Protein backbone atom coordinates (compact mmCIF):
# COMPACT_ATOMS: atom_id res chain seq x y z
CA UNK A 1 0.00 0.00 0.00
CA UNK A 2 1.10 3.57 -0.43
CA UNK A 3 0.23 6.94 0.93
CA UNK A 4 -0.82 9.89 -1.15
CA UNK A 5 0.65 13.28 -0.39
CA UNK A 6 -1.74 16.21 -0.57
CA UNK A 7 -0.74 19.72 -1.50
CA UNK A 8 -1.17 22.39 -0.25
CA UNK A 9 -1.40 21.52 3.44
CA UNK A 10 -3.82 24.38 3.98
CA UNK A 11 -5.94 26.49 1.65
CA UNK A 12 -8.14 29.45 2.50
CA UNK A 13 -10.43 31.04 -0.11
CA UNK A 14 -13.53 33.20 -0.35
CA UNK A 15 -16.95 31.68 -0.72
CA UNK A 16 -17.83 31.29 -4.37
CA UNK A 17 -14.23 30.81 -5.54
CA UNK A 18 -12.88 27.51 -6.83
CA UNK A 19 -10.58 25.35 -4.72
CA UNK A 20 -7.93 23.05 -6.19
CA UNK A 21 -6.06 20.40 -4.24
CA UNK A 22 -3.38 18.10 -5.54
CA UNK A 23 -2.24 14.60 -4.70
CA UNK A 24 0.96 12.79 -5.64
CA UNK A 25 1.79 9.14 -5.20
CA UNK A 26 4.74 6.87 -5.94
CA UNK A 27 3.75 3.56 -7.56
CA UNK A 28 1.25 2.31 -10.12
CA UNK A 29 -2.37 2.17 -9.03
CA UNK A 30 -5.69 0.74 -10.17
CA UNK A 31 -7.67 3.65 -8.83
CA UNK A 32 -7.50 6.67 -6.57
CA UNK A 33 -10.10 7.91 -4.12
CA UNK A 34 -10.80 11.27 -2.49
CA UNK A 35 -12.35 11.64 0.96
CA UNK A 36 -13.55 14.57 3.05
CA UNK A 37 -13.40 14.90 6.82
CA UNK A 38 -15.38 17.47 8.72
CA UNK A 39 -13.95 18.39 12.11
CA UNK A 40 -14.30 15.56 14.59
CA UNK A 41 -16.10 13.23 12.19
CA UNK A 42 -15.21 10.17 10.15
CA UNK A 43 -14.12 10.41 6.54
CA UNK A 44 -16.73 10.54 3.82
CA UNK A 45 -16.03 9.09 0.39
CA UNK A 46 -16.30 11.69 -2.38
CA UNK A 47 -15.20 10.11 -5.62
CA UNK A 48 -13.23 7.20 -7.08
CA UNK A 49 -11.34 7.52 -10.36
CA UNK A 50 -9.90 4.48 -12.11
CA UNK A 51 -6.50 4.31 -13.77
CA UNK A 52 -8.04 4.24 -17.26
CA UNK A 53 -9.98 7.45 -16.59
CA UNK A 54 -8.53 10.93 -16.98
CA UNK A 55 -11.33 12.99 -15.53
CA UNK A 56 -14.47 12.45 -13.51
CA UNK A 57 -17.23 14.75 -12.32
CA UNK A 58 -19.64 14.57 -9.42
CA UNK A 59 -21.77 17.65 -8.80
CA UNK A 60 -19.39 20.53 -8.04
CA UNK A 61 -16.42 18.16 -7.84
CA UNK A 62 -14.03 17.48 -10.68
CA UNK A 63 -11.20 15.00 -10.30
CA UNK A 64 -8.36 14.45 -12.75
CA UNK A 65 -5.82 11.67 -12.82
CA UNK A 66 -2.49 11.70 -14.64
CA UNK A 67 -0.91 8.27 -14.28
CA UNK A 68 2.22 9.31 -16.17
CA UNK A 69 2.91 11.98 -13.56
CA UNK A 70 1.44 9.93 -10.72
CA UNK A 71 -0.75 12.79 -9.66
CA UNK A 72 -4.39 13.69 -9.18
CA UNK A 73 -6.26 16.90 -8.54
CA UNK A 74 -9.57 17.69 -6.89
CA UNK A 75 -11.39 20.83 -7.97
CA UNK A 76 -14.36 22.16 -6.00
CA UNK A 77 -16.23 24.81 -7.97
CA UNK A 78 -18.34 27.62 -6.52
CA UNK A 79 -17.21 26.83 -2.99
CA UNK A 80 -19.57 27.11 -0.01
CA UNK A 81 -18.96 27.50 3.70
CA UNK A 82 -20.05 23.87 4.14
CA UNK A 83 -17.06 22.76 2.04
CA UNK A 84 -14.77 23.73 4.93
CA UNK A 85 -13.11 20.43 5.83
CA UNK A 86 -9.95 18.39 5.38
CA UNK A 87 -9.56 16.51 2.12
CA UNK A 88 -7.55 13.32 1.67
CA UNK A 89 -6.52 11.29 -1.34
CA UNK A 90 -5.98 7.53 -1.16
CA UNK A 91 -4.12 5.72 -3.95
CA UNK A 92 -5.79 2.36 -4.52
CA UNK A 93 -4.62 -0.55 -2.40
CA UNK A 94 -6.04 -3.36 -0.37
CA UNK A 95 -5.78 -1.11 2.65
CA UNK A 96 -6.09 2.66 2.26
CA UNK A 97 -3.36 4.78 3.78
CA UNK A 98 -4.07 8.46 4.29
CA UNK A 99 -1.69 11.40 4.33
CA UNK A 100 -1.94 14.65 6.24
CA UNK A 101 -4.62 16.02 3.95
CA UNK A 102 -5.42 19.53 2.77
CA UNK A 103 -7.27 21.71 5.27
CA UNK A 104 -9.68 23.84 3.26
CA UNK A 105 -11.28 26.91 4.80
CA UNK A 106 -14.05 28.76 2.98
CA UNK A 107 -14.44 32.33 4.22
CA UNK A 108 -17.89 33.94 3.99
Partner 1 sequence: NAGVMQNPRHLVRRRGQEARLRCSPMKGHSHVYWYRQLPEEGLKFMVYLQKENIIDESGMPKERFSAEFPKEGPSILRIQQVVRGDSAAYFCASSEGVTNEKLFFGSGTQLSVL
**Which CB atom, from 60 or from 98, has the smaller least distance to partner 1?**
98
99, 89 contact by CB (below 8 A): yes
CA distances from 51 to 18, 32, 58, 59, 87 (A): 25, 8, 17, 21, 20
Nearer to partner 1, 78 or 97 (CB): 97
**Least distance (Å) between residue 74 CB and partner 1:** 15
The interface mask with partner 1, positions 37-56, x = CB under 8 A, is: ---xxxxxx--x--------
Of 18-26, 52-60, 67-75, 88-96, the window that binds partner 1 (rule: CB under 8 A) is 88-96
The correct pick among 13, 61, 75, 96 for binding partner 1 (CB under 8 A) is 96
Which residue in the set 79, 101, 104, 106 belongs to the binding site for partner 1 (CB under 8 A)? 101
Q: Are 98 and 35 in contact (CB under 8 A)?
A: yes
Residue 71 sits in the site that holds partner 1 (CB under 8 A): no
- CA within 13 Å, CB half, 56: 18
The closest alpha carbon to 5, from 40, 32, 31, 30, belongs to: 32
Answer yes or no: are the C-beta atoms of 48 and 57 closer than 8 Å.
no
Site residues for partner 1 per CB under 8 A = 1, 30-31, 33, 35, 40-45, 48, 88, 92-101
Amino acid sequence: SQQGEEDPQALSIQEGENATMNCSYKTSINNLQWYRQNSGRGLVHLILIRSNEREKHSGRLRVTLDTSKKSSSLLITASRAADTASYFCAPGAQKLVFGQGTRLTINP
